[in-house]
């Protein structure tokens, strides 16, 4: 299963740290892999809203559907934060 997502205003290092907390291991600069899943990130085009400019991160999540849904649910909870 593959899930593609776009995130705004959250630094890549924060997202990597969250996935490591969920049992992942860094594989290179742009990939985190856990048991039954992996996540690859790349920078997208910034989004401008008035005078504000937000960075964009594209995330591709791959893995077994059951495992990936569990990881994404926990990741989504971590992404609910001030500024993100």
Full domain range(s) for residue 53: 2-79
Say if CB 41 and CB 30 are below 8 A apart.
yes
On whether residue 42 sits in a domain, the answer given is: yes
- Looking at residue 82, its pLDDT comes to 55
What number is the average pLDDT over the span 65-80? 95
Q: pLDDT tens for residues 26-61?
A: 998 899 999 999 999 999 999 999 999 999 999 999
CB count, 10 Å around CB of 60? 15
The total of structural domains in the chain comes to: 1
| Distance in angstroms between the alpha carbons of the first and the last residue of the chain | 26
Nearest by Cα to 77 from 37, 29, 35, 19 = 19
On whether residue 84 sits in a domain, the answer given is: no
On whether residue 67 sits in a domain, the answer given is: yes
Domain containing 64 — which CATH number?
3.30.1370.80
The answer to whether residue 84 scores a pLDDT higher than 50 is no
């Amino acid at each position: 299963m593959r899930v593609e997502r776009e995130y705004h205003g959250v630094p890549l290092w924060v997202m990597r740290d969250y996935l490591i907390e969920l049992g992942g291991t860094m594989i290179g600069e742009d990939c985190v892999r856990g048991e039954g899943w992996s996540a690859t990130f790349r920078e997208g085009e910034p989004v401008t809203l008035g005078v504000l400019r937000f960075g964009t991160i594209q995330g591709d999540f791959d893995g077994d559907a059951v495992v990936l849904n569990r990881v994404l649910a926990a990741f989504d909870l971590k992404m609910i934060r001030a500024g993100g």
